[in-house]
Amino acid sequence: MTARILSGKPIAEAIKSETAEEVSTIETAYGFRPCLAAVRVGEDAASEIYVGKKVEAAAEIGITSEHHHLPADVSQDELMALVRDLNTRDDVDGILVQLPLPGHIDERSILEAIDPAKDVDGFHPVNVGRLSLGYPSLVPCTPAGVIEILKRSDIEIAGSHAVIVGRSNIVGKPLAMLLLRGNATVTMCHSKTRDLPAITSQADILVAAIGRAGFIRGEHIRDGAAVIDVGINRVSDKDSAREVFEGEELEKRIAAITARGSTIVGDVNPKDAVAKAGAFTPVPGGVGLLTVAMLMKNTVAAAKQRRKL
C-alpha cells in the first residue's frame, strides 16, 4: 500500500479563492472590505515571516490589512492600549497578536483583552467556550484547516474513530471539539498515555500534534488510516534525517541541512506513513498551508458577524 498524499496547496488555494469572491461580494453590496490588524512585537525572525505571509495573503484576497510592529521593549500597558484601540475601531474586523511575545509581556492577558468578535485566531476564552458548546464561533485556524483537508479529501468524519496525539489549547483540544461536532468518536492521547500504539493503531483518523520529530511510526498507524501531521520541527542532524527519509527525499533534506543548517520534519515518520496509511499529509506542504487560508476566512466571517450581514 502507498498512501495518497493530501497536499495542502490546492485546498488552501480553493479556500482563498472562495474567500476572495466573498470579499468582492461584500464590497459590491455593502461598500467596504474586511480589515485585519496584525500586531508584532520585537524582531523574532519567524514571527516576521509569519506576519508577512498573512499580510501578503490578505492583499491577494482583497482584505485590507494593517501591520503594527512594536519594539521588543514595549511595555505591557502600551501593548494593551493598542489592542484596546483596535477593539474600538469599527473599521477593524480582525485582530491578530503574533506569538510568542517577549518574556516581560503577559500573553494571556493580552489575548484575553482582544474583543472576542475580532479574535480571528480563535484563542479567546469566549470563543473556546462557544466552540465547546457547539455554538457558532471563530475557530482556531490550524484545527479548522485539518477539518477542511478531511472534508475536501472525501475522508469520512462521521462515525470514524479519530485519535489525536497532543492536547494543546491551540490544536488538540479545539480539534477534538470540531471532530465531535462532525460526529466522530474522539480519543485524546498525550505524554502520559500508556501503551500509545495500542490506542493510535485503532484510529481511522490519526492526528499528530505533539512537537516531536518523526515520533509517530508504523506501529502507531492502522493499515489504511488517514494520518494528519500537524507537527513542524526543525532537524539539524543528518543522522536524524536518515531515520525519517529515504531516497531522493533524503538527498533533498540532507542538502537543506548542509545549505541552511536544518530541515523541517513533522511529527510523523513519513517513510512509515507512506507505506502503511491510506492517506497522509506531508510536512511541509500539508496542514501548514491551510492556517493562513483559514485566518483569511475567519476575518471575513468576523466582518459578517459583527455587522450581522
Rounded to the nearest 10°, the torsion over CA 178, 179, 183, 184 is -170
**Catalytic member of 93, 115, 119, 121:** 121
For the question of residue 239 being annotated catalytic, the response is no
Residues 6+ apart with CB under 8 A from 71: 41, 42
**Catalytic member of 93, 98, 173, 229:** 98
**Catalytic member of 16, 54, 173, 297:** 54
Concatenated DSSP letters of the chain: --PEE--HHHHHHHHHHHHHHHHHHHHHHHS---EEEEEEES--HHHHHHHHHHHHHHHHHT-EEEEEEE-TT--HHHHHHHHHHHHH-TT--EEEEPSPPPTTS-HHHHHHHS-GGGBTT--SHHHHHHHHHT------HHHHHHHHHHHHTT---TT-EEEEE---TTTHHHHHHHHHHTT-EEEEE-TT-SSHHHHHTT-SEEEE-SS-TT-B-GGG--TT-EEEE---EEE--HHHHHHH--HHHHHHHHHHHHHHS-EEE-SB-HHHHHHH-SEE--SSSSTHHHHHHHHHHHHHHHHHHHHT-
For the question of residue 54 being annotated catalytic, the response is yes
User: Which residues are annotated as catalytic?
Assistant: 54, 98, 121
